[in-house]
């Protein structure tokens, strides 16, 4: 059995890292106020993650050093560049903003190990590959990604045949250069959907027909209206792919799934999809085939 856990950034980390990037990007050579503000933002993000670790891990655990190192690399790299990104560089954006998923996946992987769940933390950049030269909202190269996924899985030796994998969502790399790219908002959903589809294909080619269960843990499961603005929103235990597609085109519905996610999995009948409220695991919505 194979279990993949794709991890998003914690809280509003992506938004906060975008702020760090904006401060560096708009920083002129003489604007030291922006430099200090960028460092302050980065330190606050680091402290936020370290506080989470203090609530989860014993103080001697090496997760603290790993989290510190990831954020320190960002700070030192930008300072080495004189903190002046005077030209718009999507490459710099993706490299900075992706650190939220990198750090959160490390925390999740180490916490699972602490609780007795063995797992392999895989580098998303070594598996998820993209087309072209785009650094933001990149398009996944399914053929290359499938090959990289298969090679990585073959290299693992899980205990008792149970393979548990933790990976950062949202992150990929260019197939030719291995430079960091990002998949856009809801990118972790896209990462999970692509891997689910490819696992289904790999199993089929090996003469197996397993059911791939794709579970999205969200702020809430599926409702007729947005529960954030309608306290009486009706929870739907089932929803069809057609309805999901229709609701994506209606902004007032605040769809809980990205259109690219549906495109990846809607024609693969071997993938079962479910939305689960992460604060109440009893609130679930299954997606039915049309």
> Is residue 126 domain-shared with residue 237, that is, in the same domain?
no
Q: pLDDT class for 83, splitting at 50, 70, 90?
A: very low
> Is residue 204 domain-shared with residue 230, that is, in the same domain?
no
> Is residue 71 domain-shared with residue 150, that is, in the same domain?
yes
Tell me what pLDDT residue 237 has.
Answer: 92
Q: pLDDT class for 256, splitting at 50, 70, 90?
A: low
Instruction: Tell me the mean pLDDT in the region 24-40.
Output: 64
What 3-state DSSP class applies to 24? helix
Number of domain units in the chain: 2
Question: Residue 31's CB: how many other CB atoms inside 10 A?
Answer: 14
Rounded to the nearest integer, the mean pLDDT of the chain is 85
Inform me whether the pLDDT recorded for 181 exceeds 70: yes
> Is residue 236 domain-shared with residue 101, that is, in the same domain?
no
- pTM listed for this prediction: 0.87
Tell me what pLDDT residue 53 has.
Answer: 98
> Is residue 249 domain-shared with residue 134, that is, in the same domain?
no
> Is residue 174 domain-shared with residue 288, that is, in the same domain?
no
Host domain of residue 12: 2-210
Instruction: Tell me the mean pLDDT in the region 50-67.
Output: 97
Lowest mean pLDDT among 56-65, 109-118, 209-218, 263-272: 263-272
> Is residue 152 domain-shared with residue 265, that is, in the same domain?
no
| Residues 205-221: tens digit of each pLDDT | 888 877 788 898 888 88
Nearest of 173, 165, 180 to residue 108 by alpha carbon: 165
Inform me whether the pLDDT recorded for 34 exceeds 80: no
Q: Starting from the edge strand earliest in sequence, which strands make up the sheet with 271-277, in order?
A: 212-218, 271-277, 280-288, 238-240
193 class by beta-carbon count within 10 Å (0-12 exposed, 13-18 middle, 19+ buried):
buried
> Is residue 182 domain-shared with residue 53, that is, in the same domain?
yes
Last residue of a domain, one of 189, 210, 231: 210
> Is residue 135 domain-shared with residue 165, that is, in the same domain?
yes
How many Cα atoms sit within 13 Å of 19 on the Cβ side? 15
d(CA 130, CA 19): 26
Tell me what pLDDT residue 130 has.
Answer: 94
Q: Which residues pair with 180 in a beta bridge?
A: 173
Instruction: Tell me the mean pLDDT in the region 67-87.
Output: 74
Q: pLDDT class for 27, splitting at 50, 70, 90?
A: low
> Is residue 136 domain-shared with residue 273, that is, in the same domain?
no
CB 270, CB 211: distance < 8 Å: yes
Last residue of a domain, one of 175, 210, 245: 210
Last residue of a domain, one of 194, 210, 226: 210
Take residue 191 and report the two structure tokens written for it. 């990462």
> Is residue 246 domain-shared with residue 185, that is, in the same domain?
no
> Is residue 22 domain-shared with residue 142, that is, in the same domain?
yes
289: left (phi over 0), alpha (psi -120 to 50) or beta: beta
Tell me what pLDDT residue 166 has.
Answer: 96
Q: pLDDT class for 58, splitting at 50, 70, 90?
A: very high
């Amino acid at each position: 059995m194979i279990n993949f856990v794709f991890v998003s950034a914690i809280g509003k980390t992506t938004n906060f890292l975008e702020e760090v990037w904006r401060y560096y990007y708009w920083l002129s050579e003489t604007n030291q106020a922006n430099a200090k503000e960028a460092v302050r933002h980065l330190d606050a993000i680091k402290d936020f993650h370290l506080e989470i670790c203090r609530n989860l891990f014993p103080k001697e655990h090496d997760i603290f050093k790993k989290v510190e190192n990831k954020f320190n690399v960002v700070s030192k790299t930008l300072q080495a560049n004189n903190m002046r990104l005077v030209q718009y560089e999507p490459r710099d954006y993706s490299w900075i903003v992706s650190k939220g998923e990198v750090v959160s996946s490390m925390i999740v992987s180490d916490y699972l190990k602490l609780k007795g769940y063995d797992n392999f933390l895989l580098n998303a950049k070594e598996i998820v590959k993209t087309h072209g030269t785009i650094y933001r909202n990149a398009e996944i190269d399914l053929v290359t990604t499938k090959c990289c996924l298969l090679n990585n899985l073959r290299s693992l030796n899980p205990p008792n045949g149970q393979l548990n994998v933790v990976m950062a969502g949202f992150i990929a790399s260019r197939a030719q250069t291995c430079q960091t790219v990002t998949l856009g908002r809801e990118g972790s959903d896209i990462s999970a959907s692509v891997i689910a589809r490819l696992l289904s294909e790999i199993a089929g080619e090996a003469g197996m027909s397993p059911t791939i269960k794709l579970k999205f843990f969200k702020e809430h499961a599926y409702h007729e209206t947005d529960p954030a603005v309608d306290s009486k929103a009706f929870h739907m235990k089932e929803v069809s792919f057609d309805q999901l597609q229709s609701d994506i085109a209606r902004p007032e519905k605040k769809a809980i799934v990205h259109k690219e996610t549906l495109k990846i999995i809607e024609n693969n009948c071997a993938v079962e999809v479910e939305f689960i409220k992460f604060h109440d695991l009893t609130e679930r919505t299954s997606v039915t085939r049309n």
